[in-house]
């Protein structure tokens, strides 16, 4: 079960990407526009944009292996009190598991992605000087929802503790 | 198979300050995804990734030399997908020194000088490069 404080982190986190691998053990990276934790806190559903990689589903159907990495700030177990946005952004976790199901994304999924896009804009427009258009293009209405049961969680926050397995 | 060369237009993307994403895979087939502050241009056929503390990435590369890097150019609505194969690791020399200096600069800016420390410059050969466009018209 995903710890409650990690669930809180996932709700506030803004950047997500995933890795799969094909039958030849070649890794592939995929942009993830949004995510939501299942009610039982055992699964995560990821939302992919309309132009998601053509190797995503073939890789998942070949071997099922999936790794989701999420970066965020402020609300996770490592949040500073008071918040320090300049360094707090570096909180990061990786979630590994096997592909379970996929379906077309729906309106509720689109609302999740829209909220992630808004958080992304608030955080990165001032930090990197991105334009509103650039942010909006990254968070289009999703096309695909993919669910996987979380097998392992790893703390990937930069530093000597990176790679530590989180108790679930 | 012919040599794969990086297009000139990818070089500014490596230097735009936006973190890149790195995918690797262990020998038993478990993928790993991590981000990295930047990717370094070595020559038209090679890139370098910093070996700091992303130990799972390094362990995977020692087992399976293939990697995938996504480079992001948000203002151009573009993502570059570069597939790599590990070539060698350097712990001194001009590539290492240049990366060490730039990592120290990034660490200073983010208040993490005591966390970011370059162990080695890992050099990879480019095996494929693809430009993905996702703009409003895509």
Question: Which residue in B has a C-alpha nearest to residue A137's C-alpha?
Answer: B135
Tell me what the mean pLDDT of segment A97-108 comes to: 98
- List C-alpha distances in Å: B16 to A15, A75, A134, B26: 18, 28, 14, 30
Are A63 and B29 within 8 A, CB to CB? Answer: yes
DSSP 3-state of B33: strand
Domains detected in chain B: 8-133 (2.30.110.10)
Are A134 and B22 within 8 A, CB to CB? Answer: no
Q: How far apart are CA A97 and CA A99, in angstroms?
A: 7
Q: What's the pLDDT score for residue B51?
A: 82
What is chain A's alpha carbon radius of gyration, rounded to the nearest angstrom?
Answer: 15
Tell me what the mean pLDDT of segment B55-73 comes to: 94
Q: How far apart are CA B105 and CA B107, in angstroms?
A: 5
Q: Is the distance from CB of A18 to CB of A59 less than 8 angstroms?
A: no
Question: With DSSP H G I counted as helix, E B as strand and the rest as coil, what are the percentages for chain A, rounded to 5?
Answer: 30, 35, 35
- List C-alpha distances in Å: B62 to A8, A116, A144, B81, B87: 35, 36, 34, 22, 11
φ, ψ at A72 (rounded to 5°): -160, -165
Tokens 């208040």 found at:
B111
* β-sheet bridge partners, residue B81: B70, B130
Q: Which residues from A are below 8 Å from B35, CB to CB?
A: 15, 17, 69, 71, 92
Express each pLDDT in A44-60 by its tens digit: 999 999 989 999 999 99
Question: Which residue in A has a C-alpha nearest to residue B115's C-alpha?
Answer: A159
What is the complex's ipTM, to 2 decimals? 0.91
The pTM is what? 0.92
Q: Which residues from B are below 8 Å from A95, CB to CB?
A: none
φ, ψ at B7 (rounded to 5°): -70, 150
Q: How confident is the model at residue B106 (pLDDT cuts 50, 70, 90)?
A: confident
Give the one of A51, A69, A87 whose C-beta lies nearest to B34's C-beta: A69
Question: Which residue in B has a C-alpha nearest to residue A97's C-alpha?
Answer: B30
Are B33 and A26 within 8 A, CB to CB? Answer: no
Q: What's the pLDDT score for residue A130?
A: 86
Please give the span between the terminal C-alpha atoms of chain B, in angstroms, as a whole number.
31
Express each pLDDT in A3-51 by its tens digit: 998 998 899 898 999 999 999 999 999 999 999 999 999 999 999 999 8
């Amino acid at each position: 079960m995903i710890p409650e404080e990690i669930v809180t982190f996932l709700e506030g986190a803004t950047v997500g990407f995933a890795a799969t691998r094909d039958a030849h053990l070649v890794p592939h990276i995929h942009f993830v526009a949004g995510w939501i934790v299942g009610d039982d806190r055992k699964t995560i559903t990821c939302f992919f944009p309309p132009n998601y990689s053509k190797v995503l589903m073939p890789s998942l159907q070949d071997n099922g292996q999936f790794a989701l990495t999420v970066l965020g700030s402020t609300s996770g177990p490592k949040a500073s009190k008071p918040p320090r946005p300049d360094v707090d952004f570096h909180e990061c976790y990786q979630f590994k598991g096997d592909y379970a199901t996929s379906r077309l994304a729906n309106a509720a999924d689109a609302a999740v992605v829209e909220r992630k896009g808004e958080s992304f804009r608030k955080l990165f427009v001032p930090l990197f000087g991105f334009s509103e258009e650039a942010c909006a293009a990254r968070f289009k209405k999703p096309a695909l929802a993919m669910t996987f049961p979380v097998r392992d969680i790893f703390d990937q926050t930069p530093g000597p503790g990176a790679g530590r397995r989180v108790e679930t | 198979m012919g040599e794969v060369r990086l297009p000139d237009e990818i070089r500014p993307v490596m230097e735009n300050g936006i973190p890149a994403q790195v995918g690797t895979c262990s020998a038993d087939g478990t993928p790993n995804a991590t981000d990295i502050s930047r990717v370094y241009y070595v020559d038209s056929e090679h890139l370098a990734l910093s070996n700091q503390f992303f130990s799972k990435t390094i362990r995977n590369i020692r087992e399976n030399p293939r990697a995938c890097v996504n480079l992001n150019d948000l203002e151009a609505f573009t993502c570059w997908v570069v597939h790599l194969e590990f070539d060698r690791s350097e712990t001194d020399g001009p590539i290492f020194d240049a990366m060490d200096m730039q990592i120290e600069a990034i660490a200073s800016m983010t208040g993490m000088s005591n966390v970011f420390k370059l162990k080695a410059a890992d050099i990879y050969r480019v095996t494929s490069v693809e430009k993905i466009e996702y703009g409003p018209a895509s």
